[in-house]
Amino acid sequence: MIHKPFKRRYFIQSAALFSAGLAGSFAFPNRTRASDDYIDAVVIGSGFGGAIAALRLGQAGINTLILERGKRWPITPNQNTFATFDKPDGRAAWLSAKSVFNDPIDVYTGVFETLEEKGIIVVNGAGWGGGSLAYNAITYKPKREIFYKVFDYSVVDYDELDSIYYPRVQKMLKASPIPQDVLATTYYGKTRFFMENANKAGLPSFLLDLAVDWDVIRQEINGSKTPSVINGQCWWGVNSGAKNSLDRNYLPQAENTGKVNVLTLHLVTDIAKIPGQENYRVFCNEINESGELIRKKTFTCRYLFIAAGSVATSKLLVKAKAKNSLPQLNNFVGKDWGTNGDNITIRSGLASLTGNGGTAGAVIEQLDGPTPIVVESLELGNNPDGIQSCLGLGIPHSKGNFTYDLSTDSVNLEWPGSADDRIVKKTELLFANLDKSLNTFGKQPRHQTQEGMMMISRSQNNTAVSENNAAAITGHPLGGCVMGKACDPFGRVYGYPRLYVVDGALIPGSTACTNPSFTIAALAERCMDKIIAEDING
């Protein structure tokens, strides 16, 4: 049974922010161009896959250009780089006139994008650092026993990832669990409660590894840094600088090689193989911070790495195939896209429960049986006392596809709708056990679980919410150019030498009950080792 003890509008707003964890439909560009600069390698996007590709290319001595649609977000001495939940402005959204709370804001190249597709809403990070600007910094490795429920043995070796690539990424991101002195503060009361509640219910739990600087968080606690992570301010950026986002590690190291150049506010619209040549051409729009076109540009390269996020990467490839710019792409391109089994539970009636400290907390795993799930404590910055938010992950059976629409010259993502009730039912049973174990002295704890990040339909004024005609939303988009199908096990796109995919598009809809960023990064490191050794240095 789903309980509704508090306003549904609060549930919608809270659930929307869970998505924070990358461009929309593309029109074919005017091919008149002022320049056609050549560079050895072009990397599209600066998220996990793009940042890793750029660093490894730079270290290999390859002249490389990163094209990033968003802007840089340096932490300022005043610690006011990002918008906050209580003071939203254009920095909170990518070229949108409203925030996820429907607050009116100025249109700006902010950090949080919402894509309204057919049957699904996808949210992404945008900016120098991609999704790492907006994610919860959770660095969570899949368990061996369920890894191959998602990945094919012939495509990925878990032991190789476990021994080489996961440790490499974890070391770079400096990910570790909440230290005991931090956990003991009032700011992390909800994390402590989650673990105590799990223990009472006989459900083992453990703290998640988080890519944050705990010394900076200690400064937040003692008042020498602006409160950010300790107040659940994470999804629009962390003003204290506590998050180890990619602009703090992989990306500056890439630039420091002296071989990697960067163009921000450059939105890639199309890619093509140059007829009669071995090179590729990349079409992009240079924009200003209001999203207005400054000029169209093209770049020619020998090596092209696509890392724009699963939706944008898939759209670029599907459109290129449909427009005969990359006609040799196979029919698996644009297929096998999924939501990582996202679901959200909002718990209420938890008397005197306080502390929204983040960027996340602990996790309960139930990996047995045909429907493995996990549930994470993941507090929102605007959660009132007595409310706890939890993110659930599973292995979805539903798959979405990308299709080209000739009438609009655009690519659409089509999601078949809810087909994974088994994940929700098992998650609800877990929370029923948690609720039952509590001694609340007459106050009944309740929970509401929904598949996807939220279910929402908007009226004309964008404020009304109803049960019907609802669309799911996810912040964990995966698939569209799956390894072993659309490309080889190392991201080499079938049919096109020196064309690579190195982001979440490689993954078939799920990272086996974990947050995807860690596995995306590990796979990107693995791809780049092989590509550098065999395609570039070989």
Here the tokens at position 450 are 């929904």
Residues 6+ apart with CB under 8 A from 252: none
N-terminal to C-terminal alpha carbon distance within the chain: 60
What is the three-class DSSP state of 90? Answer: helix
Q: What Å distances lie between residue 209 and 170, 206, 245, 380, 503, CA to CA?
A: 9, 10, 14, 18, 21
State the DSSP H helix or E strand holding residue 529, giving kind and residue range, or none if neither. Answer: helix 517-530
Any idea what DSSP says for residue 525? Answer: H
Establish whether 286 is a catalytic residue: no
State the DSSP H helix or E strand holding residue 194, giving kind and residue range, or none if neither. Answer: helix 189-200
CA-to-CA distance for 200 and 469, rounded, in angstroms? 39
Establish whether 145 is a catalytic residue: no
Here the tokens at position 387 are 């409310």
In contact, 43 and 305? CB cutoff 8 Å = yes
CA-to-CA distance for 149 and 143, rounded, in angstroms? 11
Alpha helix (H) residue ranges in 93-165 = 144-147, 158-160
Which one of 117, 220, 365, 376 is the catalytic residue?
Answer: 376
CA-to-CA distance for 254 and 51, rounded, in angstroms? 8
Which one of 68, 379, 447, 476 is the catalytic residue?
Answer: 476
In contact, 92 and 85? CB cutoff 8 Å = no
Indicate if the alpha-carbon torsion angle 6, 8, 10, 15 is positive or negative: positive
Q: What angle do CA 416, 422, 424 make, to 5 degrees?
A: 90
Task: Give counts: helices (H), strands (E), the chain.
Answer: 12, 21
What is the three-class DSSP state of 499? Answer: strand
State the DSSP H helix or E strand holding residue 59, giving kind and residue range, or none if neither. Answer: helix 48-59
Here the tokens at position 401 are 């596809």
Alpha helix (H) residue ranges in 376-444 = 421-436
Q: What Å distances lie between residue 333 and 119, 214, 394, CA to CA?
A: 20, 41, 24
Instruction: Tell me the catalytic residues.
Output: 376, 476
